[in-house]
Amino acid sequence: IHDRNGEAVAIVGIDMSANAVKEIIREDQRDLLIPIGILLLLSAVIGFSAASRISRAITSMLDAAKRIAEGDYDQRIQVQTTDEFGELAASLNTMAKNISERVGSLAGTAIVDGLTDLNNHRYFQERLDVEIKRAERYNRQLALLMIDVDGFARFNAINGHVLGDSALKKIADIIKDCSRETDITARYSGEEFVVVMPEADEREAMMAAARIAMMVATQQFNTKHNISIPITVSIGITHYPKYGENSKGLIDTACEALAEAKRLGPNSIAYPKSHGSATADTTFEPRDSQPSDEVIINAVFSLAKAVDARDHYTHRHSEFVARYSAALGRALGLDDKDVTNLSIAGLLHDIGKIGVPDAVLNKLDTLTNDEWSYIDRHPVLGADIVRHLSGLREVVKTILHHHEKYDGSGYPDGMVGEEIPLKARIVSVVDSYHAMISDRPYRAGLSHNQATVELRRCRETQFDPRLVDKFIELLEKEHALNERQGTRITNKNSASA
Highest mean pLDDT among 1-15, 42-56, 387-401, 450-464: 450-464
Per-residue pLDDT band for 450 (boundaries 50, 70, 90) equals: very high
Task: Name residues whose C-beta falls within 8 Å of residue 203's C-beta, 6 or more positions apart in sequence.
Answer: 295, 298, 299, 302
Per-residue pLDDT band for 212 (boundaries 50, 70, 90) equals: confident
pLDDT for the residue 239: 92
Least confidently predicted of 225-234, 282-291, 297-306, 343-352: 282-291
pLDDT for the residue 495: 34
Asked if residue 142 has pLDDT above 80, the reply is: yes
In 3-state terms, what secondary structure has residue 197?
A: strand
Round to whole Å and give the CA distance between 177 and 171: 10
418, amino acid identity: E
CB-based contacts of 227-230 (< 8 A; 24+ apart in sequence): 227/158, 227/159, 229/154, 229/155, 229/158, 229/159
Mean pLDDT of the chain: 78
Burial class (CB in 10 A: 0-12, 13-18, 19+), 286: exposed
pLDDT for the residue 280: 28
How many other β-carbons are positioned within 10 Å of the β-carbon of residue 127?
17
User: Angle at Cα 313 formed by Cα 310 and Cα 314, nearest 5°?
Assistant: 75
229, amino acid identity: I
How many other β-carbons are positioned within 10 Å of the β-carbon of residue 297?
20
pLDDT for the residue 276: 35
Query: How confident is the model over 105-118, as a mean pLDDT?
Result: 75
Q: Which of 182, 192, 179, 180 shows the shortest CA–CA distance to 135?
A: 182
Round to whole Å and give the CA distance between 455 and 449: 10
What residues pair up with 145 in beta bridges, in sequence order? 195, 237
**CB of 362 closer than 8 Å to CB of 352:** no
Cα(first)–Cα(last) distance of the chain, in Å? 137
Q: Which of 401, 453, 407, 451 shows the shortest CA–CA distance to 427?
A: 401
**CB of 269 closer than 8 Å to CB of 213:** yes
* DSSP 8-state assignment for residue 447: P
Tens of pLDDT, residues 313-329: 555 788 889 889 999 99
**CB of 208 closer than 8 Å to CB of 198:** no
pLDDT for the residue 281: 31
Query: How confident is the model over 436-453, as a mean pLDDT?
Result: 87
pLDDT for the residue 3: 66
pLDDT for the residue 336: 85
Asked if residue 290 has pLDDT above 90, the reply is: no
Asked if residue 305 has pLDDT above 90, the reply is: no
Asked if residue 108 has pLDDT above 60, the reply is: no
456, amino acid identity: R
Tens of pLDDT, residues 20-48: 655 655 665 555 455 555 655 655 555 55
Query: How confident is the model over 58-79, as a mean pLDDT?
Result: 63
Tens of pLDDT, residues 235-287: 999 999 989 889 999 999 999 999 988 887 777 788 887 543 322 232 323 33
Tens of pLDDT, residues 291-303: 555 555 555 666 6
Round to whole Å and give the CA distance between 123 and 247: 13
In 3-state terms, what secondary structure has residue 140?
A: coil
What is the set of domains in the chain, with CATH numbers?
20-111 (1.10.287), 121-291 (3.30.70.270), 297-484 (1.10.3210.10)
pLDDT for the residue 208: 85
Asked if residue 374 has pLDDT above 70, the reply is: yes
CB-based contacts of 69-78 (< 8 A; 24+ apart in sequence): 73/97, 73/99, 73/100, 73/103, 74/100
H or E segment to which residue 82 belongs:
none
H or E segment to which residue 274 belongs:
none
Round to whole Å and give the CA distance between 6 and 448: 138
Asked if residue 497 has pLDDT above 60, the reply is: no
Give percent of the chain with pLDDT exceeding 90.
37
Asked if residue 223 has pLDDT above 90, the reply is: no
